[in-house]
């Protein structure tokens, strides 16, 4: 059982595959990369906000502790 591959068929297959990959990249890969970049940026922003909130909380906690200590005296 021998499979014959003609050069014309092979060229058509290669061209067809290249077109298919170009369409996939344009329709799926680039939009997916954009979505992932936006998500990465949102996560980074949220982490920054969380760090600011934690710093603010620690500052308020220290102020409360100082206030408690001064009222106890």
Tokens of 26: 């344009």
**What integer pLDDT is reported at residue 5 of this predicted model?**
74
The pLDDT of residue 29: 92
Q: Write down the pLDDT at residue 55.
A: 97
pLDDT along the chain (73 residues), means of 10: 82 96 93 96 97 97 92 78
Q: What is the pLDDT of residue 34?
A: 95
pTM, rounded to two decimals: 0.59
């Amino acid at each position: 059982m021998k499979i014959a591959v003609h050069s014309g068929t092979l060229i058509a297959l290669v061209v067809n595959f290249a077109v298919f990959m170009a369409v996939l990249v344009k329709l799926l890969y680039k939009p997916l990369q954009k979505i992932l970049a936006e998500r990465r940026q949102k996560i980074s922003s949220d982490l920054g906000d969380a760090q600011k909130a934690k710093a603010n909380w620690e500052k308020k906690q220290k102020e409360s502790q100082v206030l408690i200590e001064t009222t106890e005296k």
